[in-house]
C-alpha cells in the first residue's frame, strides 16, 4: 500500500493538518480526544472535504484541491468501520454482509466470503436479524461487510471502544487473524496504546489537529509508558498451562514461566509491567518470586526518571528466545553494570501477570 496525504481542514476554532506518506500495511492513528483523528479519517473516506491538499492511494488521486478532483466515498475503495457498527437494521446479517460485494464488478471480488465468515466466526449468525446481535457480533459483521467490498484500505475508527473490556480482548485476536490472512491495509484509530500495540506496526500521532510524530508503535509504547506513571507493559502470550495446585506452569514461547492460578485461567495474552521485574547479577540463591530467567542485556534507554533495559531471555537450552523490558532506577544500572552483552537474571512474581484476554 502507498498512501500519500497532505490535507488541511479549517473549522471555526480548530485546524486539522496532516502530511505523511505511508507504506506500512497496519498503521495506527493515536491521539487524545479532540486531536483530529476522526477529522483525518473522514477526509480520507470522502465524508469531509479538505480545504487544501491532496490524497493519493496507490498512485490514484482520491482528492486534489488544485486539480479539482474529489472522488465520492463509494469510488474511493476505502472501507470504514465505525465505533458503533452501522449495520442496516432492516436486513439480515447475510444481506448486510454481502451488501458491498454485490455492488462490485465480479472481476474485482477477490475475497472468499466462506473463508472470511469462518475466520470471523459469524457462520451461525447469517440468518439472524441484526437487532439480535451483541456488540462484538455487530462489529465482526460490520468488518466482514467492509472487507467483502474489497477495499484497498480499511479505516477503523475506535472499533473496540464501544465494547466492554473482556469482549474487546476476545475480538482482538480475530481482528489480528483477519488482517494477517487477508492482507488488507488498514488505519486503526484509537486512543488506546495497548490496542494499537496489538494491531499495528507503525503509528501516526495527532495532537491539537497536527500530525506530530510517525514512528514504530513499539517505540511510542516505550516513550509513553516510560514517561507516564504506569510503566512499560510487556505483552506475553502464555499457553500450555499445567496445573500445579495453586500455580500454573505455562509456556512463553519455549520458556517455562509460573503464573498464579486464578478462576477460569486459560491461555492468552498477559501483561507484565517492566517495573515489576527485578534484575540480579547472579542467580539468587532463594527467592519468593517464582520466575527467574537468565537474560542478556541488549540495549538500555532512558525514560524521564528510570532506565528501560531491553533483555533477551534464554530458554532452558540457553538459546535466546523472548524479549522483555525491565524499568529500573539509574543507580541500579551503575551498580549492576548493566551494559549491552552482559548477563543478568530477571526475577518476577507469579502474581505479576495481568490477563488481557
Ligand atoms: N463538523 C465540524 N464542525 C466544527 N468543528 C468540528 C467538526 N468536526 C470536528 N470538529 C472539531 O474538530 C476537533 C477534532 O475533532 P475529532 O472528532 O476529529 O477529534 P478526535 O481526535 O477524533 O476525537 P475523539 O477521540 O474524541 O473522537 C474537535 O474540536 C471538534 O469539535
Ligand 1 centre from 31 Cα, in Å?
12
Is 11 touching ligand 1 by the criterion CB < 6 Å?
yes
Higher pLDDT, 15 or 104: 15
Among 210, 208, 187, 209, which residue's Cα sits nearest to residue 199? 187
Three-class SS state of 21: strand
Q: What is the pLDDT of residue 192?
A: 86
Question: What CA–CA distance (Å, rounded) separates 339 from 96?
Answer: 57
From the candidate CATH numbers 3.40.640.10, 3.40.50.720, 3.40.50.2300, 3.40.50.300, the one assigned to the domain spanning 3-227: 3.40.50.300
Q: Which three cell numbers stand for residue 126?
A: 447469517
Average pLDDT, integer, range 22-28: 94
pLDDT at 227: 63
Angle between helices 135-148 and 165-182 (to 10 degrees): 20
Cα–Cα dist 86/20, whole Å? 29
What value does the mean pLDDT take over residues 51-72?
Answer: 97
Q: If DSSP codes are grouped into helix, strand and coil, which group holds residue 285?
A: coil
Chain segment 148-193, per-residue pLDDT in tens: 999 999 999 998 887 776 677 778 888 888 888 888 899 999 988 8
Average pLDDT of the chain, as a whole number: 91
Q: Is 14 in the pocket of ligand 1 (CB under 6 A)?
A: yes
Task: Quick: pLDDT tens for 232-284.
Answer: 999 999 999 999 999 999 999 999 999 999 887 888 889 999 999 999 999 88
Please tell me the residue having the least CA distance from ligand 1 atom 16. 36
Non-local CB neighbours of 213 within 8 Å, separated by 6+ positions: 203, 204, 205, 220
Q: Give the residue, out of 15, 17, 28, 34, with the most ligand 1 atoms within 8 A of its beta carbon, to mutate for a pocket test.
A: 34
Distance 262 CA to ligand 1 centre (A): 42
Give me the residue spans of the domains in the chain: 3-227, 233-355
CATH number of 233-355: 1.10.10.1100, 2.40.50.100, 2.40.70.10, 3.90.1150.10? 2.40.50.100
Distance from chain centroid for Cα 337:
35
Least confident of 1-15, 45-59, 301-315: 301-315
The span from the CA of 162 to the CA of 72, in Å, is: 28
Instruction: Report pLDDT for 217.
Output: 95
Supply the pLDDT for residue 108: 85
How many CB atoms are located within 10 Å of the residue 294 CB? 17
Residue bearing the CA closest to ligand 1, atom 8: 39
d(CA 265, CA 287): 25
d(CA 70, CA 221): 36
CA of 36 to the centre of ligand 1 (A): 6
Pocket test for ligand 1, best of 38, 193, 212 (most atoms within 8 A of CB): 38
> Which atom of ligand 1 sits closest to the CA of residue 39?
18
Q: What pLDDT was estimated at residue 174? A: 82
pLDDT for the residue 62: 98
Scanning the structure block, which residue is given the C-alpha cell 476476545?
170
Q: Are 51 and 8 in contact (CB under 8 A)?
A: yes
Residue 127 Cβ < 6 Å to ligand 1: no
- Is the pLDDT at 228 greater than 70? The verdict is no
pLDDT surpasses 90 at 315:
no
Confidence band (pLDDT; 50, 70, 90) for 321?
confident
The C-alpha atoms of residue 213 and residue 196 are separated, in whole angstroms, by: 15
* Shortest-distance Cα residue to atom 17 of ligand 1: 38
| pLDDT tens by residue, 188-217 | 999 888 889 989 999 999 999 999 999 999
Cα separation, 270 vs 90, whole angstroms: 40
**Cβ of residue 33 lying under 6 Å from some atom of ligand 1:** yes
How does residue 320 score in pLDDT terms, banded at 50, 70 and 90? low
Question: Does pLDDT of 121 surpass 70?
Answer: yes
Query: Does 191 contact ligand 1 (Cβ within 6 A)?
Result: yes
**Cross-strand partners of 247:** 260
3-state secondary structure of 91: coil
Q: Can you tell me the mean pLDDT for 13-27?
A: 95
The span from the CA of 195 to the CA of 156, in Å, is: 12
Tell the residue nearest (CA) to atom 29 of ligand 1: 34
Amino acid at each position: 500500500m502507498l498512501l500519500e496525504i497532505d490535507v488541511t481542514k479549517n473549522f471555526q476554532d480548530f485546524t486539522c493538518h496532516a502530511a505523511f506518506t505511508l507504506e506500512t500495511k497496519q498503521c495506527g492513528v493515536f491521539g487524545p480526544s479532540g486531536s483530529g483523528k476522526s477529522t483525518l479519517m473522514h477526509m480520507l473516506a470522502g465524508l469531509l472535504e479538505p480545504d487544501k491538499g491532496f490524497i493519493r492511494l496507490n498512485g490514484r488521486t482520491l482528492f486534489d484541491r488544485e486539480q479539482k478532483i474529489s472522488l465520492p466515498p463509494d469510488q474511493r475503495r476505502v472501507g470504514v468501520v465505525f465505533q458503533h457498527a452501522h449495520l442496516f437494521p432492516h436486513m439480515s446479517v447475510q444481506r448486510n454482509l454481502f451488501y458491498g460485494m454485490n455492488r462490485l464488478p465480479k472481476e474485482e471480488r477477490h475475497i472468499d466470503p466462506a473463508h472470511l465468515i469462518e475466520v470471523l466466526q459469524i457462520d451461525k449468525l447469517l440468518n439472524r436479524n441484526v437487532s439480535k446481535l451483541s456488540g462484538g457480533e455487530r462489529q465482526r459483521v460490520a468488518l466482514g461487510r467492509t472487507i467483502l467490498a474489497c477495499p484497498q484500505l480499511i479505516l477503523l475508527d475506535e472499533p473496540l471502544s464501544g465494547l466492554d473490556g473482556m469482549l474487546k480482548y476476545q475480538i482482538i485476536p480475530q481482528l489480528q487473524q483477519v488482517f494477517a490472512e487477508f492482507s488488507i491495509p488498514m488505519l486503526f484509530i484509537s486512543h488506546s496504546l495497548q490496542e494499537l500495540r496489538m494491531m499495528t506496526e507503525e503509528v501516526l500521532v495527532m495532537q491539537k489537529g497536527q500530525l506530530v510524530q510517525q514512528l514504530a508503535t513499539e517505540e511510542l509504547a516505550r516513550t509513553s509508558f516510560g514517561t507516564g506513571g504506569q510503566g512499560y507493559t510487556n505483552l506475553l502470550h502464555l499457553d500450555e498451562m499445567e496445573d500445579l495446585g495453586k500455580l500454573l506452569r505455562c509456556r512463553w514461547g519455549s520458556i517455562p514461566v509460573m503464573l498464579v492460578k486464578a478462576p477460569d485461567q486459560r491461555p492468552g495474552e498477559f501483561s507484565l509491567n517492566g517495573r515489576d521485574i527485578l534484575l540480579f547479577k547472579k542467580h539468587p540463591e532463594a527467592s519468593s518470586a517464582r520466575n527467574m530467567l537468565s537474560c542478556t542485556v541488549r540495549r538500555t534507554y532512558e525514560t524521564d526518571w528510570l532506565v528501560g533495559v531491553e533483555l533477551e531471555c534464554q530458554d532452558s537450552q540457553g538459546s535466546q528466545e523472548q524479549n522483555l523490558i525491565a524499568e529500573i532506577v539509574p543507580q541500579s544500572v551503575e551498580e549492576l553494570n548493566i551494559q549491552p552483552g552482559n548477563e543478568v537474571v530477571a526475577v518476577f512474581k507469579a502474581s505479576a501477570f495481568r490477563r488481557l484476554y
